[in-house]
Amino acid sequence: MTLDTFVQLSAILTGYPEKKLKPKNDTQKVSEAYFAVLNKEVDAQTIAQLNSTFTSIQNPDEASVKTQIVDDPTLGPIAKNITKMWYLAIWYSLDPTSTDPNATYVVSSITYKNGLAWSTMYAHPMGYSEENFGYWETPPNTK
Amino acid sequence: MNYRATAYLVGLFLVGGIITTNCKPQKTQSEESPPPEASETDAEAPVLLTENTDGAKPSVTLSSDLPFDVTITGTKLETSIRRDFDRFSWESFVALNWDPNSADPIGTNGDNATVWETWKNAMDVFLPDGKKPSPWGTPGMIPKSCKTTDKKVLAQVGKTPDLLNEMEQPFKTGPLIDQNGEYTRFEILMNQEMFDYIDKNGLYSFEGQQKFNAPAVFPEGSDSAKEWGAIMVKASWKILGDNDDPSRFHTVEAIVYTPAQDDPKIAESCFTAKVGLVGLHIGTKTKICPQWIWSTFEQVDNAPSFDNIHREGTFNYYNASSKYPWNEAPARPWDPNIENQTPTQVVRLTSIFDGTEALNKEYQAKLREVNPNSVWQYYELVGTQWPVNPRQLPLGNPFPEFLANSTLETYVQGIVKDDKVELVPNVSSSCMHCHNGATMISNGRASDFTFLLERAQ
């Protein structure tokens, strides 16, 4: 699986466009960080299966990805983990019986502040805001 | 359904079961910000790009012409665009360090007076009781206890005036002590455009800021208008001792002043000394970059880099045989009058980018062409930070994410954990992230990326 394919799949899983997940001038390199985590945590055979399944879908959309990937017993947990990683910057252990405290972890501080959960909620992580001081004086613009 | 709405549903589904608190502050747009959809569109717009091809590397030149704004010639963020901003930084450095009284190229005579040292010192702008500052061009004030009347005054003993009261500092700042056991001294100066804005709008006083009662918006430099915008510089100086080679520094004879303090008790002191420039920040507000362009330079002998810690040589702020921990503020009490204090052990945690290093070599070679003994060849650009998406208000997506001068952000460069450098947003040094939080002292209004307005009385 290439990084571009990973981003294409991620766009459908998250609902955010590819250009948001991997901007042209990418200062944060979040997609690269998540792609590296995927390759570290998931075996090559499963990633190859995920890649072949996704690339075999003509004009992939939410419905086809749900049917062929999210609902698949092998690929589904991976797809859900990718989605959660984009939103929360956390890689969740794929083994529910694991007692390893490090099996679930925040990918990095950079990816954490870029979690899609924040922008989706018009919020920001605690202790990190890019707004000017006093921004809370005016209501959020949710148009 | 647009992507944000879709994302919202996905986000609710995911987050609902995982985040248990729902009392996070709502993100709102500041008065100046466009709506989110517009800013995201702008985030993708090639604002800083031109049709010029990558790879073209115009040769460097030395000029006394201070650039109004950055000139973009490339398209690749981490190479050509970065080089354009680094060129802007070097062009600014050369022009600001040009002898204002001579047509000769910079460094023709080894060392020279500089343009920026003729600018207005912050301590002459924000006066007791909010008194109006003297007009542009008026010599700076000398503390009464100092007898000499015509020399530079370095009155700050830390990055902020109340350095000795650490509890009031936003970060873990502290004094920086060189290998001679002497405190490094700091100063902040501004150009006439910045001073005029402060003066005209009464922002030098608490009362004036209350009347102004709006966010500060300093003038922008513009190539089309051929106008400079606000520029501020922050300099760090070391007192030169017997072990220092003055031919490797820009030097001045300065009055080194320590104001009296009550808690802890510090006696007022004043003496003259030859000081050498070890660090220089240049902050430039421009039309292309309303979040300012942040350039930072250092004298080349300051400290080794983390990834080249065994580099041979003598350093201003590092001793290979010292057991003192890296980048740790000295033990209290912080009193510059105490003699022979333990030197700070400084290591640069983020190495200079390869492309920046290459440009440094080009400029240093050019400076040597003017004069093999030029002091200016011993300075290097550590980096330039700029907003990649300047219309994405207010912060504009700074790049690189982190940038630190080892003499000006010594203790907030980052941390070393498991033999790796860790940099954390809002904790490790980033010019724009930090200055974005600056406000006026009287009304909490945004002060346009400068903390200077907090000094108004």
Question: What is the 3 state secondary structure string of chain A?
Answer: CCHHHHHHHHHHHHCCCHHHHCCCCCCCCHHHHHHHHHHHHCCHHHHHHHHHHHHHCCCCCHHHHHHHHHCCCCHHHHHHHHHHHHHHCEECCCCCCCCCCCCCEECCHHHHHCCHHHHHCCCCCCCCCCCCCCHHHCCCCCC
Chain A residues closer than 8 Å to B426 by CB: 127-128
Measure the CA dihedral B308/B311/B314/B316, to 10°: -10
Q: A143 vs B37, B38, B43, CA distance in Å?
A: 8, 10, 17
Chain B residue at shortest CA distance from A118: B27
Q: Which amino acid does the sequence have at A131?
A: E
Rounded CA gap, B47 and B261, in Å? 49
Cβ(B80)–Cβ(B356) below 8 Å? no
CB contact under 8 A, A134 and B446: yes
Token pair for B267? 């006696």
CB contact under 8 A, A88 and B389: no
pLDDT interval class at B100 (50, 70, 90): very high
Give the integer Cα–Cα distance in Å for B163 and B183.
Answer: 12
Percent of chain B whose pLDDT exceeds 70: 82
φ, ψ for residue B147, nearest 5 deg: -80, -35
* Interface contact flag, B439 A124, Cβ < 8 Å: no
Residue in the block written with tokens 């040769």: B59
Q: In this predicted structure, what is the pLDDT of residue B14?
A: 52
Pairwise CA distance, residues B160 & A124, whole Å: 29
Q: Is the pLDDT of residue A131 over 80?
A: yes
pTM > 0.90: no
Instruction: Give A136 to chain B, closest Cα distance, Å.
Output: 6
E strand residue ranges, B132-214:
152-154, 185-190
Each residue's pLDDT tens digit, B194-251: 999 999 999 999 999 999 999 999 999 999 999 999 999 999 999 999 999 999 999 9
Contact B15 A123 (CB under 8 A): no
pLDDT computed for residue B142 by the predictor: 81
Q: What is the DSSP letter of B183?
A: B
Q: Do A118 and B389 touch (CB under 8 A)?
A: no
Of the two residues A66 and A131, the one the predictor is more confident about is A66
Whole-number Cα distances in Å, B449 to B283, B284, B363, B439: 9, 10, 29, 8
Nearest chain A Cα distance for residue B420, angstroms: 14
Is the bond into B372 cis (omega within 30 degrees of 0)? no
A24/B46 touch (CB, cutoff 8 Å), yes or no: yes
Work out the burial of residue A66: count CB atoms within 10 Å of its CB; fewer than 13 is exposed, 13-18 middle, 19 or more buried: middle
Distance CA B305, CA B300 (A): 11
The average pLDDT across B131-151 equals 82
pLDDT in tens, B16-37: 443 333 332 333 333 333 333 3
Q: Which of residues 41-60 of A touch B (CB under 8 A)?
A: none
Give the pLDDT score at B42.
42
Distance of residue B395 Cα from the nearest chain A Cα, in angstroms: 6
Q: CB distance from B136 to chain A under 8 Å? A: no
Euclidean distance between CA atoms A139 and B142, whole angstroms? 48
Beta B251-258 vs B152-154: how paired, if at all? Answer: parallel
Closest approach of B232 to chain A, Cα-based (Å)? 20
pLDDT tens digits along B289-348:
999 999 999 999 999 999 988 888 899 999 999 999 999 999 888 888 888 899 999 999
Contact A16 B3 (CB under 8 A): yes
CB contact under 8 A, B29 and A140: yes
